Amino acid sequence: MIKLLFLGTFLFSTVCLNAQDTESYQEAPNPVAVNPVLWSEVKAPQVSWGSTDVRYKKEEPAAISGIKKNINLTAWKGEKVSAQLVVWTPETLNNLTFTVSDLTSGSESISKDDIRTSFVRYVMTDELNKDGLGACGYRNSADFDSTLVADVLDHLTPSLVIPANSAQGGWISVRVPQHAKAGKYTGTVTVRNGDTALSELKLTVNVKNRILPVPSEWAFHLDLWQNPYAVARYYGVEPFSDKHFELMRPLMKLYADAGGKVITASIMHKPWNGQTYDAFESMVTWLKKADGTWYFDYTVFDKWVEFMMSTGVRKQISCFSMVPWRLSFQYFDQASNSFKYLNAKPGEAAYEEFWITMLKSFAQHLKKKGWFEITHIAMDERPMKDMQETLKVIRKADKDFKVSLAGTYHPELVDELDDYCITIAERFPPETIDSRREAGKVTTYYTCCSEPRPNTFTFSPPAEAEWLAWHSAKENLDGYLRWALNSWVKNPLQDSRFTAWAAGDTYLICPGARSSIRMERLTEGVQAFEKVRILKEEFKKKDNKGAIKNIEKILQMFDERSLGEIPAATAVNKAKEVINRY
């Protein structure tokens, strides 16, 4: 039996044996040629503060009107804030580095240990569909314009060689300690080529006398689906081995530190029919014994959930899926010593019998582990008829099971779903949001390949990632869902394109626990949501109607239908300015 369980758990996963070095790597060649005319006026290496709203092109001088040597950021205690510097050079720099000092305010300081520096690395990207209306559908890279774009934040590589006539960004992330005293903290960032100092930039962080709670205490319901199988393939390790968990820990910590609340678990074979480069396999072994009875093994499921909880993600477990994209359910048949499939759909007797048996066992196991109250049977973009039939089966198995859906809004499902997430193009009635919140239910929205903007493709304007959580605040929602935290493509550090959907649609974090511009800006948006929530609660208690009115006014900018008139960067920067006054 032990040998059989091992087979049922691991046979599905394929492992690539040529994993890349996590410390250093080569970027893909730039398909865009350098235009010498653009560089004719640049006589020496230039260094300036830039904007985190801009992805600076590798082959062009930075589009900065004047060299900026000073930058001022504003933060609450416990908040992480970012800045971007940019270097552009007409000559080769063989050993580019940049270092940051402690930030000081009188006798107080923010240690450089609380500051992370990263090179902004370049990755291949593409574009929206030719009609500009979205990015869904299978695609051939040759049919789309492809370029290098700044996105990966590489904190592991200590220095870079910068070719002549090229630009390079540097990202500075300051995590203000919660115990810091309010004040103006100032330090320097020194940019060098080898032993030669190219420039010294001044960095100032104005720390307000307000505290942002730690991420695990944030109210924002962030749900980014994790794919452990992608990590196993990329590094060539056995799925759910000690080495696998060791490699995943810093990756999933990025999610936890962004306020991640939900653990993604696959309880059947290929819930999305293998649409990603690395398919989701079952974390539960389904075994039909020779006598016709069923045996379920939860060893991998338990290890995965316990691991994710140890990183700080503990609020919810979402288990996919009773209604997969292909209604075919794999199990191991002991009598024939082979894998078999049940082809059945919701509403059919075979489907009901198959799932009730499993769900009763699953409920018993979850209750024993103490996880039943946080576990949701989860579905994704399924028709209402299928959902209604599936709900009948779930209730027969255990009436207290929680259920979640990311899909279309149906009033008939409002009371049935404990976690209901709809597309950004739809709207929950305000009274529905309020009643669900009073009942302890979660109400959110999602974006996917359908929306040209706002989105988190590698070519999307960076501010759009931050805009997303502001939109949640505007709509009085509990959070946001994106289907892919780390469903990596074949070589995610070099090429973010995929055979389906626009580049970057499948992942936000990168191998080596490297973050991205998109992930950092998304996290800053979640922080902004928390700041808005905290301020509104305070002002409500103090009956400060004027302040509440000011906040509600700025939130009205975060409507996806007005992004053409109010770009994400404009809305985000104006809103931050208002919020940081308090």
Rounded mean pLDDT, 155-167: 98
Tokens at 255, concatenated: 């999610």
Task: Residue 99: name the closest of 203, 192, 185, 31 by CA.
Answer: 192
Which H or E element spans position 235?
A: helix 228-235
Q: Beta strand pairing status for 115-125 and 166-175?
A: antiparallel
* Res. 9 pLDDT band, cuts 50 70 90: very low
- pLDDT at 382 (0 to 100): 85
Measured CA to CA in angstroms, residue 209 lies from 78, 107, 175, 184, 202 at distances of 11, 17, 15, 11, 23
Backbone angles phi, psi at 192, to 5 degrees: -130, 155
Residue type, 67: I
Length of the chain: 582
- pLDDT at 444 (0 to 100): 98
Average pLDDT, the chain: 95
Check pLDDT > 80 for residue 463.
yes
Check pLDDT > 50 for residue 96.
yes
* Res. 6 pLDDT band, cuts 50 70 90: very low
Check pLDDT > 50 for residue 484.
yes
DSSP string, 444-498: EEE--TT-SSS---TTS-THHHHHHHHHHHHTT-SEEEES-SB---SSTTTB---
CA neighbours within 13 Å on the CB side: how many for 573?
A: 11
Rounded mean pLDDT, 178-202: 98
Under 8 Å between Cβ of 120 and 82? no
Q: What is the pLDDT of residues 527-568, one digit of tens each?
A: 999 999 999 999 999 999 999 999 999 999 999 999 999 999
Measured CA to CA in angstroms, residue 304 lies from 43, 328, 378, 402 at distances of 55, 24, 17, 20
Check pLDDT > 70 for residue 103.
yes
Answer whether CATH 3.20.20 is correct for domain 221-511: yes
Check pLDDT > 60 for residue 371.
yes
- pLDDT at 22 (0 to 100): 52
- 314-317 long-range contacts, CB within 8 A, separation 24+: 314/216, 314/374, 315/221, 315/261, 315/262, 315/374, 316/223, 316/261, 316/262, 316/263, 316/374, 316/375, 316/376, 316/419, 316/442, 317/262, 317/263, 317/265, 317/371, 317/374, 317/375, 317/376
Q: What is the pLDDT of residues 255-307, one digit of tens each?
A: 999 999 999 999 999 999 889 999 999 999 999 999 999 999 999 999 999 99
Rounded mean pLDDT, 214-232: 98
Residue type, 324: P
- pLDDT at 24 (0 to 100): 86
Residue 411, preceding peptide bond in cis (omega within 30° of 0): no
Task: Residue 250: name the closest of 532, 506, 22 by CA.
Answer: 22
Residue type, 314: R
* Res. 381 pLDDT band, cuts 50 70 90: confident
**Which DSSP letter does residue 273 get?**
T
User: Quick one: three-class SS letters along 280-298?
Assistant: CCCCCEEEECCCCCEEEEC
The contacts of residue 130 (CB under 8 Å, 6+ apart) are: none
Under 8 Å between Cβ of 58 and 121? no
Q: Beta strand pairing status for 338-343 and 328-333?
A: antiparallel
Which H or E element spans position 161?
A: strand 160-162
CATH superfamily of 40-211: Immunoglobulins (2.60.40.10)
* Res. 12 pLDDT band, cuts 50 70 90: very low
- pLDDT at 141 (0 to 100): 84
Where are the chain's structural domains? 40-211, 221-511
- pLDDT at 14 (0 to 100): 33
